[in-house]
A and B are shown apart, each in its own frame.
Chain A
Amino acid sequence: MNEIINFYTILLASSILIILVGIINFKTLKRSWPLGVLFILFIVSVTSDIAGTAMQNRGIHNLWLYNLYNLIEYSLLAIFFILLFQFKRQGQIISSIVYLTILTLMIFISVSQSFTEHFNSTLMGLQSIVLICSSVLYFRVMLNNLEFETPWSNPFFWINSAILIYFSGCFFIFIFSDYRDVTRTIKIWDIHNIIHIIYNLLILIGFWKARKA
């Protein structure tokens, strides 16, 4: 139990650190829309984590909050990718339609299944697949444009790698998240938290690199 709390605390601390770095780099965030969207995502993430923990401590059912957070997370990351791809008008419309269709499908799945009673694995699985594809697509765009001499100097290389590692690493955890008792027993969420900490660290590097870029 203590280990879970420890990982979770580190995770929460790293999310707060990202927000602090974001505040320090506020001028950069104002210039870059995708980074701004990501910054909002982290504010929402930390808020929902704190609220979720508070609700859990008071014995209030909080799964609906995490399911809602997943929908918001997907929407913000979809906006992040649409802004990041910098497609021309036609490409932007097409990508927006694709993301919006999947969001509609996710909302439909949420409504048709029990939104408040258990963690929605279909929703998470679908979200992961879309975001994995998006990050691979961004790598393709990045290799076509070759704007930076090295990938390390590109802040979006770090952020995109973070998204790819997190959503592919946690894909199996998400699709098996319906097995609540099982996952609790074998502490599968520890793996999730470790990958999430790596995700946060990579995003942190990305935010920091954005200052120089």
Chain B
Amino acid sequence: MESAQSLDIFSIVAIGCSAMLLLAGFIIFFVVLYQKKAIIQRNEVEALNAQHQRDLLQKTIEVEEKERESVAKNIHDDLGALISILRLNNSRTAKNIDDKAVLEKILESNKIILNKTSESVRSISKKLASPTLIKLGYVKALKEICSSFNQTGEIAMHFNDLMTQNFKPSAQKASQLYRASQEIINNIIKHAAATEINVSLSNEGSSTIIKFEHDGAGINEANVVDLIRQDKGLGLTSIQSRLSIIEAKIEYRAPVAVNPSITITYFNDETKD
């Protein structure tokens, strides 16, 4: 009788031990399998991120190259032509050294050409680096863009500074933010056929929100992805790469009921910490 009870208990213990060991083995097997899969997945995500960073860098280089070409073209077309005229005037002066009337004409012409040259140099240097941005910062420089577009009379631009906190990004970050804002405004004017643009700056927590709202044809996130994929959005990629450098976020919205908008969220340093 006692032996039968012993056997029963032994069976229970043996079966119980085996079942629990199997369960433990299964858990360990699952952990090993899951970790392998998770590591493969993580490596894939990291590779994708690295590829994305490489693409952004490539596009940034392309944009920079394009900017250089544009500056070279401006120098060649504007300054080159003016300097050629000056050279011609110089040889005319040598030929007509005794003719006072011709010399006076040449002098007058040279004055005009020098003024034009000076204006051209100012315009090119402004394109390369905004003096307002360097001296007065991003907010004033953005305001200046708005008023310069307003002065053309082709488009109505409204600038609203609703910020309650002081916004002072570093020079490098301000420059990236400025270039991105410039590109956004250019895109709205060129592609959205807008007649009115509202630019507003505000605070959300310790982030700064820069919103560009317009009455033209807007684009949403999906459109942006499509354009970039089709290699049609060099400007859009440039905006994205500039903002990714300063770890800012951009959001494209084109709802049916309200005006389309493009919003930049700039995380101030203390937010990231």
Task: Identify the A interface with B (CB < 8 A).
Answer: 136, 139, 142-143, 146, 149-151, 157, 161, 164-165, 168-173, 176, 179, 182, 185-186, 188, 191, 195
The answer for the CA separation of A180 and B21 in the assembled complex, in Å, is 23
Flag whether B128 is at the interface (Cβ < 8 A): no
The answer, among B23, B38, B39, for a CB contact under 8 Å with A168, is: B23
Classify the secondary structure of A's interface with B. Answer: helix
Cβ–Cβ contact B38 & A169, under 8 A: no
Cβ–Cβ contact B16 & A172, under 8 A: yes
Residues of B contacting A136 in the complex (Cβ-Cβ under 8 angstroms): 27
Closest 5 CB pairs of A and B: A172-B16, A168-B20, A168-B24, A186-B10, A169-B21
Cβ–Cβ contact B24 & A164, under 8 A: yes
Flag whether B234 is at the interface (Cβ < 8 A): no
Cβ–Cβ contact B12 & A171, under 8 A: no
Per-position binary interface string of chain B over residues 31-42, scored 1 when its CB falls under 8 Å from any chain A CB and 0 otherwise: 110111011001
13 A-B pairs with CB atoms under 8 Å apart are: A142-B35, A143-B34, A146-B42, A165-B25, A165-B28, A169-B20, A171-B20, A172-B16, A172-B20, A186-B9, A191-B13, A195-B17, A195-B21
B154 to chain A, nearest CB (A): 56
Flag whether B14 is at the interface (Cβ < 8 A): yes
Residues of A contacting B5 in the complex (Cβ-Cβ under 8 angstroms): 182
The answer for the CA separation of A173 and B19 in the assembled complex, in Å, is 12
A143 to chain B, nearest CB (A): 6
Flag whether B6 is at the interface (Cβ < 8 A): yes
The answer for the CA separation of A188 and B10 in the assembled complex, in Å, is 7
Residues of A contacting B31 in the complex (Cβ-Cβ under 8 angstroms): 139, 142-143, 151, 157
Say yes or no: A176-B9 contact (C-beta < 8 A), given A143-B34, A149-B39, A168-B23.
yes
Cβ–Cβ contact B36 & A143, under 8 A: no
The answer for the CA separation of A10 and B9 in the assembled complex, in Å, is 26
Task: Identify the B interface with A (CB < 8 A).
Answer: 5-7, 9-10, 12-14, 16-17, 20-21, 23-25, 27-28, 31-32, 34-36, 38-39, 42
| Residue picked from B7, B14, B31, most chain A C-beta under 10 Å | B31
Q: Which partner residue on chain A sits nearest B20 by CB separation?
A: A168
Q: Which partner residue on chain A sits nearest B3 by CB separation?
A: A185
The answer for the CA separation of A150 and B31 in the assembled complex, in Å, is 11
B254 to chain A, nearest CB (A): 38
Cβ–Cβ contact A182 & B24, under 8 A: no
Say yes or no: A165-B21 contact (C-beta < 8 A), given A136-B27, A139-B27, A173-B13.
yes
The answer for the CA separation of A186 and B62 in the assembled complex, in Å, is 80
| Residue picked from B20, B36, B38, B42, most chain A C-beta under 10 Å | B20
Residues of B contacting A165 in the complex (Cβ-Cβ under 8 angstroms): 21, 24-25, 28
Question: Given A186-B7, A195-B17, list of 16 further CB < 8 A pairs?
Answer: A139-B27, A143-B31, A149-B39, A150-B35, A151-B32, A157-B31, A165-B21, A168-B20, A168-B23, A169-B21, A169-B24, A171-B16, A172-B20, A176-B12, A176-B13, A186-B10
B6 to chain A, nearest CB (A): 5
Cβ–Cβ contact B27 & A164, under 8 A: yes
Q: Which partner residue on chain A sits nearest B21 by CB separation?
A: A169
Residues of A contacting B21 in the complex (Cβ-Cβ under 8 angstroms): 165, 168-169, 195
The answer for the CA separation of A161 and B31 in the assembled complex, in Å, is 10
Q: Which partner residue on chain A sits nearest B31 by CB separation?
A: A139
The answer for the CA separation of A185 and B16 in the assembled complex, in Å, is 18
A20 to chain B, nearest CB (A): 26
The answer, among B13, B14, B35, for a CB contact under 8 Å with A146, is: B35
Residues of A contacting B20 in the complex (Cβ-Cβ under 8 angstroms): 168-169, 171-172
Residues of A contacting B17 in the complex (Cβ-Cβ under 8 angstroms): 169-173, 191, 195
B140 to chain A, nearest CB (A): 44
The answer, among B12, B23, B35, B42, for a CB contact under 8 Å with A151, is: B35
